[in-house]
Amino acid sequence: MDPILETVNEYIDQHRRGVLPSQNRPHTLENLIFDPRPKFSRGIRYFTFLEDRLFDRDEQIHLDIDQITELDKSQRTFFRQKLMHNHEFFEIFYVHSGRCISTINGEDREFSEGDICFYTPNAIHCMQTPEEGDVVINLLIRKSLFDETFLTLVRNNDLVTGFFIDSLYNTNSQQRHIVFHKNQATIARPIILQMFYEQLKHDGFSQDILRSYLVCLFSDLARSYTRSLTETPKLSGRQLDIKEVVTYIGRRYKDLTIEELADVFGYSVRSMSGFICSRTGKTFRDTIKSFRLRNASRLLCETDLSLDAIAFEVGYTQRCSFERAFKNNFHISPAEYRKRYRH
């Protein structure tokens, strides 16, 4: 057996039996890693898991295991997996063995061994491993690190890859999760196992190494996403390629209208709008905004153009509208972004 996989499986067995060394013991409900004050959304009662209580002070990435343990059986604490919650941070879960059931925004979805799901902080969800042997690895990422990683990747990738990354990053997006099935992700599984193995070392190099693996993982998932866009479902009797549509939007976003886009591809406005939303999780308007702001971030770092000129260049008629949209998306002002990331 691969020594890394063997070490991870040994940890999983110790976690199940509750015999981990003290420094490796998982967080529990008794640690109050969530805000005890409940919130409500569309009739769903949920709690918010707090970043500063879950991560150690020097941690930016944290991995843990979720499964039914001997303690759950003896103390009948199965309910903990049904606790609806969201996060102040980002989460990726990987089904290491068996299956799991994720409930997100009131809908159940089953995942099988090898599947990966990405939750944004806004996603209200819970996850259950219903049977013994069902094991999930959770990869938790501080928002500050995700910001930093996102801003690097979004500047260095093509239009479609940048669009995927923005789908993950933009917490205002309607898209709360993205799923990658076992046959989609190419090297994600060994990366995640290597990350877990690295965390168990827990030395002065671990967090730096985990950050490097995170970039590899995001890049692999972005590549998988880009490949998935080559699928061509039929719409109104004709093959329509979402990658082609997104690429066209990326080239004409400054003044493109949904009417023009629909006409170019020979569809009704309603059909085109529905197709974009179903395939990307974004409306046409949000898609245009994503490309405008991504190009604005590039211009801030690579040119001396004024904010007024950049706003006009990417399609905004007023600087104040541009600055408001930019801050809502990147969580800092355009001026601060230029100051922080321009080299």
Q: What angle do CA 159, 210, 172 make, to 5 degrees?
A: 45
| Whether pLDDT at 288 is above 80 | yes
What residues contact residue 177 under an 8 Å CB cut-off, 6+ apart?
104, 117, 118, 119, 120, 123, 125
Decide if 129 contacts 217 (C-beta within 8 A). no
Decide if 104 contacts 125 (C-beta within 8 A). yes
Percent of the chain with pLDDT over 70: 83
To the nearest 10°, report the CA torsion of 89, 47, 35, 15: -70
**What pLDDT does residue 90 have?**
86
Phi first, then psi: give them for residue 137, nearest 5 degrees: -100, 125
**What pLDDT does residue 88 have?**
87
Q: Rg (Cα) of the chain, in Å, rounded? A: 22
Interval 219-264: pLDDT, tens: 888 777 767 655 544 444 456 777 788 888 988 999 999 999 999 9
What number is the average pLDDT over the span 4-9? 94
| Whether pLDDT at 29 is above 50 | no
Q: Which of 105-109, 129-133, 157-161 has the highest mean pLDDT?
A: 129-133
- pTM of the model as a whole: 0.71
Model confidence at 30, in pLDDT bands (50, 70, 90)? Answer: very low
Model confidence at 24, in pLDDT bands (50, 70, 90)? Answer: low
Model confidence at 269, in pLDDT bands (50, 70, 90)? Answer: very high
Helices 284-302 and 159-169, packing angle to 10 deg? 110
151 vs 307, residue with greater confidence = 307
Copy the structure tokens of residue 109.
């979805």
* Adjacent-strand bridge partners of 102: 109, 127
